[in-house]
Structure 1
Amino acid sequence: MRDRSTRVPVRDALRIAAHRIDAATPAGRDRAVDALRALAILGVVLGHWLVTALVADGGALRTASPLHFMPRLAPISWVFQTLAVFFLVGGRTATGSLASARARGITYGRWLRSRVARLFGPVAAVVVLWTVAACCLLLGGADAGTVHTLVKLALSPLWFLLVFVVLTAATPLLTRLNPLWPLAVVLHVDLIRFGLGGPSWLGWTNLAAGWLVPYTLGAAWTRGELEGRRAGWVLLAGGAAATAGLVVWAGYPASMVGVPGAAVSNLDPPTLAAVTFGLAQCGLALVLREPLRRALRRPLAWAAVAVVNLSAMTIFLWHQTALMATTATGLLAGRLPGLHTVPDGPSWVAARLVWLPVFALALAVCRSAFRIHEQGPRRPRGRRSRVVAVHRSGRARVEAADRA
């Protein structure tokens, strides 16, 4: 019979685990970096869940966006399009990690393999599953257009990871690059495209140059050039003013995400407005560093951030699958408001907000099923109390988050 003295309420177990994670964290770790990464990931997830609709049209599914029918909702994209912050943090961690590796005598090749290898497992899992799912759907007689829509939506996060891997590989060349250089490239590409009637394909140059701007800002952060609060306020004010000017006077879209049917997308590929908006976001992130550091002195807050970072890639890669799984399951009950209906009014928005916890639950299931590809297999343990198990996993959680 199990000893009741070893049983501890869940709330106390979580508190003890949080203190263990807090104690296992190196004293010099900048917790604000992890918090910004977690916020960036969660911003992308919530943004997609709010502005992506799968409309049931007969026997097929097609994508739609409430931003197409309700342009006044464009400010939603200002809050949840947080990719610039992720690239800022990516540049900060990659350049810091490279400097540390060099100090320990680790070669560039070994350093790069270790960083890229962390992405391979999660990416391979989502690609294999959706390849099998697409084949099964087509063989089962599913509409080809629907299958294309689903696969495109599920694999859309991979473009971001491809750019991220390329910039990571080029980190030794970027550690001293001034962010003004890639910003100048974006400016001239847009001038040629929109001002001089140049070819639209030229815009794809901005796919690398646009995200180089926050990435090299992260490198400048590593060099200690952005430590003062003034740098953050300058970036925030200057980026916000430039973005407002481009939207009001230069005709750039107000939405910072792509809108189906729009003539120009700020994100596909990135435009000058998206990059200046990213500068404002990076500035805000730098301004928030100290408040975040103070908040994360609380063990429970820090443990939550550490857990998100531990599954960051799994959450990012599977959040669209969670949305689609919920949508497909819901079809069994018919066309449900906020899930299968056209996103053309406030009632759809209200209904979609109700669905967010369901999406989160589906994502939690995906995380439980596929996190092994990001974290590796768990070590076998004997039958011990929940508290002992949590205690022993505390340091492992922090170490895994540290490797992200």
Structure 2
Amino acid sequence: MDTALLAPLRDAARKTVRTLDNRTPADRDRAIDGLRALALLAVPTGHWLIGGFTLDTDGALHNASLLTSFGRLSPASWVFQMLGIFFLVGGYASVLSYRRALARGGSAGGWVRGRLVRLGRPVLGVTAVWAVLLPLLHGLGVPEATLRTGATLVIQPLWFVGVYAGVTALTPYCVRAARWMGAWAAAPLLAVVAVVDSLRYGPFADAMPSWLSLLNLLPGWMFGYQLGVSWGERRLGRRAAWVLLLGGAALFAALLVFFHYPTSMVGVPGQDRTNSHPPSLLVPALAAAQSGAAILLHDRLARILRRPGLWAPVVIINLSAMTILCWHQTAMLAVAVPASFLEPVAGLTAAPVTLGWLAARLAWLPLFAAALVLISRTARRFEAPWTGVPRARRALAAVLAACFALFALGLA
């Protein structure tokens, strides 16, 4: 391409990079934003690499996993499962925001309500839009089975938002615990998960109720958040970080080698046990190791992100955090659903049963990313305050979101 044509694009990009750098407050913790961006990008990358489709005889899409055929690739999920980091930086950022709100004369309840509203808007947006899309796509000839597959994929990441909202609502109590116990405030959460795991996987597992595993849902994910709150309260230093890194890694290895926990950090169709839905002890073990590493690397990462060219993408990703989380599966479906009307396409609608599929899927990732960027240009408005939106429209969006949830959960 002619360099004369590229020059304006280059100049515009440089101007944007300089503007984002200049607008960043001097006291902004760039390392925290960098860690959040890294954890955010791991979510769509992991889903796009591992999650595939199969086509039935009617041309309908069904979910499939690369790990079903290639279990030896399961250690890759240790890299892409970075929700521990996300909860860590969430706790750290929340305690700073909470402290500022109280210093301005706000209340704990007001701060919590504001946070929950921020988390809820994008979720309400994506589910309401999909409630409208479902009948439209069905009218265009998309099979109902494909629509159910798509609804399942869209709603999957939203469980995380629900858990994160619940943890966020407990921030005032997390702060009190951190001030009282320091980094040890996370230890009882780890103990709860260990006890529940010993009951559901121990010698009396057959006598345990099926709902027992749900007791791990909150403490399993809250562990990393509580560490972040303790870190934000300056009660978690480098020495504790080393303990987390080495202790978490040792516990992680012991659970795999001696207690035969599943290797994959994500659910694999056909496996009786899963580490993430709800979390097993392997989740906080990995979160401990990741958190220790993140704290130890904080200062170095902050220095690296002083470079404007590296800082700009971090800013952009953080500004679209909930949009990326809520819409990345839609971006993949935007490519896969039209392709389902063709013969099976390698890396897209063909079954993920060969390493060639993985190579082809890597080639599709840029198209998924481009689709997400295009979708985000419109969907990001759901993250902004809904000022000026009539109550009737908000109520309609809530009704549509509820209808989509019923369909996605197989209740409609």
Q: TM-score band (shorter)? A: 0.7 to 0.9
- Which residue is 2:174 aligned to? 174
- Which residue is 2:228 aligned to? 218
* 1:50 and 2:49 matched: yes
Aligned runs of 1:292-371 on 2, under 5 Å?
292-371=301-380
Moved more, 150-159 or 16-25: 16-25
1:315 & 1:107 partners in 2: Cα distance? Answer: 30
Cα gap change, 1:284/1:202 in structure 2, threshold over 3 Å: closer, same or farther? same
Paired residue secondary structure (2:176): coil
- Which residue is 1:190 aligned to? 197
2:148 & 2:95 partners in 1: Cα distance? Answer: 38
Are the aligned partners of 1:53 and 1:339 in contact in 2 as well (CA < 8 Å)?
yes
- Calculate the TM-score normalised by the size of structure 1: 0.88
Deviation at 1:133, TM superposition (A): 2.1
Alignment match of 1:235 (pick from 244, 248, 252): 244
Q: Which amino acid aligns with 2:63?
A: T
Are the aligned partners of 1:203 and 1:269 in contact in 2 as well (CA < 8 Å)?
yes
Deviation at 1:332, TM superposition (A): 4.0
* 1:150 and 2:183 matched: no
- Which residue is 2:211 aligned to? 201
Paired residue secondary structure (2:61): strand
Deviation at 1:154, TM superposition (A): 0.6
Q: Which amino acid aligns with 2:197?
A: D
Deviation at 1:236, TM superposition (A): 1.7
* 1:103 and 2:113 matched: no
- Which residue is 1:398 aligned to? none
Deviation at 1:240, TM superposition (A): 1.4
Deviation at 1:112, TM superposition (A): 2.0
Are the aligned partners of 1:311 and 1:375 in contact in 2 as well (CA < 8 Å)?
no
- Which residue is 1:78 aligned to? 78
Post-superposition Cα deviations, 1:21-72, rounded to whole Å, max 9, x if no partner, equal 2222121111111001100010011000011112112222111111111011
Q: What is the number of equivalent residue pairs in this alignment?
A: 371
Paired residue secondary structure (1:55): strand
Deviation at 1:99, TM superposition (A): 1.1
1:312 & 1:362 partners in 2: Cα distance? Answer: 16
- Calculate the TM-score normalised by the size of structure 2: 0.86
2:88 & 2:64 partners in 1: Cα distance? Answer: 30
Paired residue secondary structure (1:179): helix
Are the aligned partners of 2:53 and 2:348 in contact in 1 as well (CA < 8 Å)?
yes
1:43 & 1:232 partners in 2: Cα distance? Answer: 22
- Which residue is 1:252 aligned to? 261
Q: Which amino acid aligns with 1:40?
A: A
1:252 & 1:309 partners in 2: Cα distance? Answer: 34
Q: Which amino acid aligns with 1:191?
A: S
2:138 & 2:193 partners in 1: Cα distance? Answer: 41
Are the aligned partners of 1:310 and 1:375 in contact in 2 as well (CA < 8 Å)?
no
- Which residue is 2:132 aligned to? 132
Are the aligned partners of 2:88 and 2:225 in contact in 1 as well (CA < 8 Å)?
yes
Q: Which amino acid aligns with 2:21?
A: D
- Which residue is 1:391 aligned to? none
Are the aligned partners of 1:81 and 1:256 in contact in 2 as well (CA < 8 Å)?
yes
Deviation at 1:140, TM superposition (A): 6.0
Q: Which amino acid aligns with 1:100?
A: R
Q: Which amino acid aligns with 2:48?
A: W
Post-superposition Cα deviations, 1:303-322, rounded to whole Å, max 9, x if no partner, equal 11011100010011100001
Name stretches of at least 5 consecutive residues in structure 1 with no aligned partner: 1-6, 378-404
1:273 & 1:206 partners in 2: Cα distance? Answer: 12
Are the aligned partners of 2:53 and 2:352 in contact in 1 as well (CA < 8 Å)?
no
Are the aligned partners of 1:235 and 1:280 in contact in 2 as well (CA < 8 Å)?
yes
2:128 & 2:341 partners in 1: Cα distance? Answer: 26
Are the aligned partners of 1:176 and 1:219 in contact in 2 as well (CA < 8 Å)?
no
Aligned runs of 1:271-310 on 2, under 5 Å?
271-310=280-319
Paired residue secondary structure (1:9): helix
Moved more, 288-297 or 207-216: 288-297
Post-superposition Cα deviations, 1:337-367, rounded to whole Å, max 9, x if no partner, equal 0111111121111111111111111111111
4+ residue runs over 6 A deviation: none
Cα gap change, 1:245/1:269 in structure 2, threshold over 3 Å: closer, same or farther? same
Moved more, 262-271 or 102-111: 102-111
Q: Which amino acid aligns with 1:249?
A: F
Cα gap change, 1:333/1:149 in structure 2, threshold over 3 Å: closer, same or farther? closer
Deviation at 1:371, TM superposition (A): 1.1
Paired residue secondary structure (2:63): strand
Alignment match of 2:279 (pick from 270, 278, 284): 270
RMSD: 1.9
Q: Which amino acid aligns with 1:169?
A: A
Q: Which amino acid aligns with 1:146?
A: T
Post-superposition Cα deviations, 1:287-340, rounded to whole Å, max 9, x if no partner, equal 221221011111121111011100010011100001111101223442110111
Moved more, 32-41 or 366-375: 366-375
- Which residue is 1:389 aligned to? none
Post-superposition Cα deviations, 1:188-218, rounded to whole Å, max 9, x if no partner, equal 0001111131223111111101011001000
Deviation at 1:8, TM superposition (A): 7.5
* 1:12 and 2:11 matched: yes
Q: Which amino acid aligns with 1:10?
A: L
Deviation at 1:285, TM superposition (A): 1.6
